[in-house]
Amino acid sequence: MPKYWILSVRCWVESNRCQLNLFIFFLDFCMQSSSKSVCWRCVKQCGACCHLDPADRPDLDQYLTPAEMAQYLSMVGEDGWCVNFDPTSRECRIYDERPRFCRVEPEIFRKMYGVQSADFNNFAIQCCHQQIAGVYGDLSPERRRFDRELGLAYETADDT
C-alpha cells in the first residue's frame, strides 16, 4: 500500500507541477501582452483626418492660433474635405509642406494639446480611431486596417 501511496503522491505533484508551469506560462504571456506598447503610425489609404469640416470639430479655437484657424478654414473644400487631399490616392498633395496642425508628432502634440511624450502613442491612436469612426464608421475597412496594421486586432476572414 505505501508503494501505491507514494506513487499517488508523485503523480499528484507531477500533475500539479505541470498545471503550475502552464499557469506561470499563461501569466507570463498575459503580462507580456498587456505591457506590449503599440506605436502609432499613419496607414495608407485612410485620409480620415483630412476631412476638415469645422462642424465636426467645434473646439478648433482651443488649439489653433488665429493664423492657423484662418489657414485651416481656407483649406476646407465644399465637400468638407481638405482641398489638398487627393481622393483617388487618399494622399496629401502638399505632404512635405503641410501645416503644423496636420503633423502627428510628439513635440507638436505637446504644444497643441498638452500631451506628454509618454501618452503620445495612445493619444494619437485615439485621435485616429475617433476620426476614422466619424468619417468611415467604427466598423469600416479603414478602421479594421488601421487596427490590424498597428497590431491592435487580429485579422479576420472578411477583412479587406
Amino acid at 18: C
Residues 3 to 32 in contact with ligand SF4, rule: CB under 6 A: none
The number of angstroms, rounded, from the C-alpha of 56 to the middle of its chain's C-alpha atoms is 20
Picking from 99, 10, 21, 89, the residue whose alpha carbon sits closest to that of residue 60 is: 99
The HSE-up count of residue 99 (CA atoms within 13 Å, CB side) is 17
Does residue number 131 form part of the binding site for ligand SF4 (CB under 6 A)?
yes
Task: Please give the angle made by the CA atoms of 155, 158 and 160, to the nearest 5 degrees.
Answer: 80
Which CB atom, from 10 or from 44, has the smaller least distance to ligand SF4? 44
Picking from 86, 90, 80, the residue whose alpha carbon sits closest to that of residue 46 is: 90
Which CB atom, from 8 or from 117, has the smaller least distance to ligand SF4? 117
- Measured CA distances, 2 to 12, 13, 14, 15, 144 (Å): 15, 16, 18, 20, 62
Rounded to the nearest whole angstrom, what is the least distance from the CB of residue 114 to ligand SF4 in the complex?
19
Which stretch, 8-16, 21-29, 56-64, 92-100, contacts ligand SF4 (CB under 6 A)?
A: 92-100
Does residue number 64 form part of the binding site for ligand SF4 (CB under 6 A)?
no
- Residues that contact ligand SF4, how many (by CB under 6 A): 21
- Measured CA distances, 109 to 54, 137, 155 (Å): 20, 25, 30
Does residue number 98 form part of the binding site for ligand SF4 (CB under 6 A)?
yes
Does residue number 112 form part of the binding site for ligand SF4 (CB under 6 A)?
no
Does residue number 85 form part of the binding site for ligand SF4 (CB under 6 A)?
yes
Question: Which one of 82, 115, 143, 147 is in contact with ligand SF4 (CB under 6 A)?
Answer: 82
Which CB atom, from 10 or from 41, has the smaller least distance to ligand SF4? 41
Residues at the interface with ligand SF4 (CB under 6 A): 42-43, 46-50, 52, 75, 82, 84-85, 92, 94, 98, 102, 104, 128, 131-132, 146
